[in-house]
Amino acid sequence: MSKEKNINTNKEVVEKEYSTLNLGPTHPATHGIFQNVLKMDGEIIMDSESTVGYIHRAFEKLAERRPYYQITPITDRLNYCSSPINNMGWHMTVEKLLGIEIPKRVQYMRIIIMELARISDHVICNSVIGVDTGAMTGFLYIFQMRERIYDIYEELCGARLTTNIGRIGGLERDFSSKAWDLLEKFLIDFPPALKEFENLLMRNRIFMDRTIGCGGISAERALNYSFSGPNLRAAGVDYDVRVMNPYCSYEEFDFIIPVGTNGDTYDRFMVRQQEMWESVKIIHQAIAKIKKEPAGIFHADVPEFYLPPKEEVYNNMEALIYHFKIVMGETEIPKGEVYHAVEGGNGEVGYYLISDGGRTPYRLHMRRPCFIYYQAYAEMIRGGMLSDAILTMSSMNVIAGELDA
């Protein structure tokens, strides 16, 4: 060691200093408004603190002033990559409170919508993992397929992103023949596109080296952090709400729950990838089942909760009365306390609803999977490189809308 070392200081030993790096709130690589204050040792992350709440919109408070059917648009804006799942979860929660039985055909139609939403959610997440590893091509190709799903939404409900799809008691309209055509074409075109996307990344040496072992979490820690959805399954726990607490007749469907082993970025990618194949399988089964059901039914027969068609409102006394009562919030809502959960794109999306018999919920609490698992982020990136932190975040599919509610 030469004596010239440490020429700027008189001390024998140089004190170690860490640098602080602000990752976000607005940074192209965070895909949303999150801030992470990182304590860095060169390029190694020693510690980090997450700041969330940049797009907090007080959904739980808003819900206390809105009639039940007006809360659906709020749920759109939770995980906006798969808003139909949130919508359906909310409808089912209210139906559970009201004790409404939904016809089988409507349940299968809902399953088709929810599985399309799952595909569009996972498509975004997985293609963005590709982008963050430097592979832009897959993202651009597979986004055409997401567009096709949005075309189907548009045909079903008129909206593309924040769908507000379905109503309490069923769906607002039957699938049109154009919607069936679009769905059929999508089911033909999607598998080859997904296969192509897989070929680009799945066994790609560069991609594998980049993602295996990056941002891993053990099953024990994941459970302690209440992970759910693909992130938990990547760690090797086969918890899926669709199978454990089936809703919408999921128990009649034949599909597998893919699980990983290491809980790292590659496993999360693979679990989502496999889930898309399973979703395609489920949609095929649902279409076959719908064909066996009597046609034309798209809602339950609950006139006191389900808005009548407009032409009947103008020509029929009873329909007019129900229309008035529903819109003015004069319908009898039973008192009660229910919890209902669905398997969202990111895991268990739960609604804990307390009704005191009034026109609005007394209290609505939303279990938002992102909010719960994102707190493990600091632990997952500690000791890793900065570039791995970016990849970990995108592979966890942290959606700002769901995180901040």
Partner 1 sequence: MELNSMDKQALLTAVESKLKAQFGEGFISSKLNVDFPEFTVKRDLICEVVKFLYDDEELAFQYLTTMATIHYPDNQGHEFALMYQLHNLPNNLRIRIKIFFSNSDVNVPSITSVFSAANWMERQEFDFFGIIFRGHPNLKRILNMDEMNYHPMRKEYALEDGTREDKDDQMFGR
- Residues in contact with partner 1 by CB under 8 A are 52-53, 56, 58, 60-62, 64-65, 96, 221, 223-226, 237, 239, 244-245, 328-330, 336-339, 341, 348, 350, 352, 354, 358-359, 362-363, 365, 367, 371-372, 374-376, 404-405
CB of 201 to partner 1, least distance (A): 31
Give me the half-sphere count of Cα atoms (radius 13 Å) on the Cβ side of residue 253: 29
Between 130 and 229, CB nearer to partner 1:
229
Taking the complex as a whole, how short is the minimal distance between the CB of residue 359 and partner 1, in angstroms?
4
Least CB distance to partner 1 at residue 5 (A)? 40
Residue 195 or 363: which CB sits closer to partner 1? 363
Contact predicate 222/376, CB 8 Å? yes
Question: Is the Cβ of residue 187 or residue 244 nearer to partner 1 in the bound state?
Answer: 244
Question: Around Cβ 68, how many Cβ atoms within 10 Å?
Answer: 25
Q: Nearest distance from residue 79's CB to partner 1, in Å?
A: 16
Q: Which amino acid is at 230?
A: P
CA-wise closest residue to 392 among 258, 271, 236, 269: 269
Q: Name the burial class of residue 386, with classes exposed (0-12), middle (13-18) and buried (19+) by CB atoms within 10 angstroms of its CB.
A: middle
Instruction: Let me know: does 315 contact 186? Beta carbons within 8 Å.
Output: no
Q: Which residue, 184 or 324, is less far from partner 1 as judged by CB? A: 324
Beta strands in 5-132 (DSSP E): 19-23, 35-41, 44-51
Tell me the C-alpha to C-alpha distance, in Å, between residue 176 and each of 53, 154, 181.
40, 11, 9
Comparison of 60 and 312: residue with beta carbon closer to partner 1: 60
Taking the least distance from each CB to partner 1, the nearer of 66 and 146 is 66
Distance in Å, CB of 367 to partner 1, minimum: 4
Q: What's the closest the beta carbon of residue 371 comes to partner 1, in angstroms?
A: 7
Measured distance CA(345)–CA(89) in Å, rounded: 12
